[in-house]
Amino acid sequence: MADTFSFELVSPERLLQSGQAVQVTIPGTEGEFTVLAGHAPVLSTIRPGIIHVTGEGSSDERIFIRGGFAEVTPTGLTILAEEAIPMADLDSAALAQQIKNAEEDVADASDDNKRQRAQESLDHLKQLRDAL
C-alpha cells in the first residue's frame, strides 16, 4: 500500500476536503508539480487549472482551482484556493450559457466598474471552460 499524507483543500467559504492522499498534482505558477508522502517543504502560488487528487484505495478526483496557494509541510499539504469546483459537478451546456450571459453583461455594463466586474466573471468562466 502506498504511503499517504494529510491533504486539505480550503476555499474562502469553507473546508472543502480533508483526509489522506497518496498523491496530488498541482498547477503551480512555475509549473505543474506532484506532492507525495515525504515531499520537501514548499510554498507555491497556483495558476487556474485542475488539481488531481489520488486518495486511499486509488480513488481519483479532479478539481478546478481558480488560483491560490499550496503549502507542503512535513505533516502534509494544504491548498488555499480562491475557488474550487469538482469537475464532476460541471455541466458544459450550463457553462456555455453562463459564458454567453457574461458576455452580454460586459457589453451592457453602464460604467467602467461594472464592466470590469463583468469581465472578471467572464474571464473566470472561460478559464473553467478551458480546463474542461
Per-residue pLDDT, 132: 67
Per-residue pLDDT, 1: 54
DSSP symbol at 59: -
Residues 6+ apart with CB under 8 A from 65: 27, 46, 48, 49, 50, 51, 79, 81, 82, 83, 84
Answer with the residue of higher pLDDT: 29 or 129: 29
Distance CA 74, CA 76 (A): 6
5-87: in CATH 3.40.50.300: no
Q: What are the residues facing 8 on neighbouring strands?
A: 18, 78
The band of 32, judged by pLDDT with boundaries at 50, 70 and 90, is very high
Tens of pLDDT along 54-107? Answer: 988 767 899 988 889 999 999 899 999 988 888 877 777 777 888 888 888 888
Rg for the chain, CA atoms, rounded:
17
Domain spans of the chain, in order of start: 5-87, 91-131
Per-residue pLDDT, 52: 94
Per-chain mean pLDDT for the chain: 87
